[in-house]
Amino acid sequence: MSSVFILIIFLFLHSFTSQDKFQKERESMVKNQIENRGIKDKSVLNAMRKVLRHEMVPSNVVNRAYTDGPLPIGYGQTISQPYIVAFMTEATNPKPEHKVLEIGTGSGYQAAVLAEIAKEVYTIEIVNELYKSADKKLNELGYKNIFCKAADGYYGWEEHAPFDAIVVTAAAEHIPPPLVEQLKDGGKMIIPVGAPFLNQNLILVEKKGEEVTTRSLLPVRFVPFTREK
Ligand code: SAH
CATH number for position 46: 3.40.50.150
Is the beta carbon of 79 within 6 A of some atom in ligand 1? yes
pLDDT digits over 12-56, tens only?
777 666 777 899 999 999 999 999 999 999 999 999 999 999 999
pTM: 0.93
Look at residue 227 in the predicted model and tell me its pLDDT: 93
Mean pLDDT of 204-210: 95
Q: Is 88 a member of any domain?
A: yes
Q: Is 148 a member of any domain?
A: yes
Burial tier of 189 (Cβ tally within 10 Å: 0-12, 13-18, 19+):
buried
Q: Is 227 a member of any domain?
A: no
Q: Is 228 a member of any domain?
A: no
Sign of CA dihedral 100, 51, 31, 192: negative
Look at residue 5 in the predicted model and tell me its pLDDT: 82
Residues 203, 127: Cα–Cα separation, whole Å: 24
Is the beta carbon of 107 within 6 A of some atom in ligand 1? yes
Q: Is 226 a member of any domain?
A: no
Q: How far is the CA of 191 from the centre of ligand 1 (A)?
A: 12
Q: Is 109 a member of any domain?
A: yes
Q: Is 197 a member of any domain?
A: yes
Give the domain extent around 94: 3-220
Q: How far is the CA of 106 from the centre of ligand 1 (A)?
A: 5
Q: Report the amino acid identity of residue 126.
A: I
Is the beta carbon of 169 within 6 A of some atom in ligand 1? yes
Mean pLDDT of 112-136: 98
Q: Is 42 a member of any domain?
A: yes
What mean pLDDT is reported for the chain?
A: 95
Residues 125, 146: Cα–Cα separation, whole Å: 13
Mean pLDDT of 52-70: 97
CA separation, residue 95 to residues 20, 30, 41 (Å): 30, 20, 11
The number of distinct structural domains making up the chain is 1
Burial tier of 200 (Cβ tally within 10 Å: 0-12, 13-18, 19+):
buried
Question: Is pLDDT above 70 for 1?
Answer: no
CB 58 within 8 A of CB 128: no
CB 164 within 8 A of CB 94: yes
Is the beta carbon of 147 within 6 A of some atom in ligand 1? no
Active site residues: 80
